[in-house]
Amino acid sequence: MKNVLLLLIMLALTSVAALAQPSASATPSSSPKENASAVKPAVAAKPGLVLPPEKAQPVRMPRFDKAPVIDGKLDDEIWKQAKVLKDFYQVQPGDNIAPAKPTEVMLGYDSKFIYVAFHCYDEPDKVRATIPKRDDIWNDDYVGILFDTFNDGRKAYEFDFSPLGIQADGIWTDGQGEDFNPDIVMESKGALTTDGWTVEAAIPFKSLRYVVGKDKLWGAHFWRRIKRFNNELSMWMPLNRDNSSWLAQEGHLS
């Protein structure tokens, strides 16, 4: 009887020891923190907006047969021939949502100038417009342009205009910021209107460096800043906040 009991005890001890040994195919357990991260569902990348055709394809600017008078008023007949850009996106503080007020950009050119006009719809008595010095318009409402004339996503000419047409201009370098020391020779005027304000600008080709040739493209951005709406920024092209490069998200002009 004693021998049988001793045998049963030895068998039980052997089974316990075998259970205590790790399997040869088992992997080491992760730490609680790693396990927690391992079982988290994957976070989907922020989906990009589907651009309408007029933004996804290069914009072909019309050639004007007559120059508009740069007086801040959009009453020249030639503006009816312009290419019109609209349907801006509010990118600050909203994230590619509808802007507080609509904006339209009109584009054309001739042998000497690029012509750009903005129609900024608003309540005229609430527009912030003073008479600051050149390159110091940032306390006013304003509109702006980037022309990436080499279409390389590295540098662009920047042009900004207050509601009275006062200029701020310089060079935008992607990833480094803006340099407003250069002053580009151009003409601009602005005016308050019954439905907001308008700006006209004539930018000479001779003031710019660019690649010449048929079907060459320029990168471009157009924007508007409204100070009283929490410094709202709206843009013709949407911006993905996960991408810090504006020029990588530019539209194109032909």
What does the pLDDT look like over 88-111, one tens digit per residue? 999 999 999 999 999 999 999 999
In a domain, residue 140? The reply is yes
What does the pLDDT look like over 38-73, one tens digit per residue? 333 333 334 567 899 999 999 999 999 999 999 999
What CATH number should be reported for the domain holding residue 166?
A: 2.60.40.1190
- The residue behind tokens 């021998």 is 3
In a domain, residue 126? The reply is yes
The predicted pLDDT at position 47 comes to 55
Q: What are phi and psi of 107, to 5 degrees?
A: -130, 145
The kind and range of the H/E element at 190 are strand 187-193
Spatial CA neighbour of 202 closest among 173, 163, 152, 159: 159
Q: Is the dihedral of CA 114, 225, 175, 248 positive or negative?
A: negative
The predicted pLDDT at position 212 comes to 83
Q: What is the pLDDT along the chain (254 residues), one digit of tens a residue?
A: 444 444 444 544 444 444 444 333 333 333 332 333 333 333 333 456 789 999 999 999 999 999 999 999 999 999 999 999 999 999 999 999 999 999 999 999 999 999 999 999 999 999 999 999 999 999 999 999 999 999 999 999 999 999 999 999 999 999 999 999 999 999 999 999 999 999 999 999 999 999 888 889 999 999 999 999 999 999 999 999 999 999 999 999 99
The predicted pLDDT at position 49 comes to 77
In a domain, residue 25? The reply is no
- Pull the structure tokens for residue 207: 């003031």
Sheet of strand 103-109: strand arrangement: 83-85, 103-109, 113-121, 196-204, 187-193
In a domain, residue 173? The reply is yes
In a domain, residue 30? The reply is no
* Counted domains in the chain: 1
Q: Residue 121's domain spans which residues?
A: 76-253
Q: Which residues contact 239 (CB under 8 A, 6 or more apart)?
A: 89, 91, 96, 246, 249
In a domain, residue 38? The reply is no
Q: String of b and e for 64-94 (b: at least 16 CB within 10 Å)?
A: beeebebebbbebebbeebeebeebbbbbeb
The predicted pLDDT at position 48 comes to 61
In a domain, residue 135? The reply is yes
The predicted pLDDT at position 25 comes to 36
CA distance 137 to 132: 6
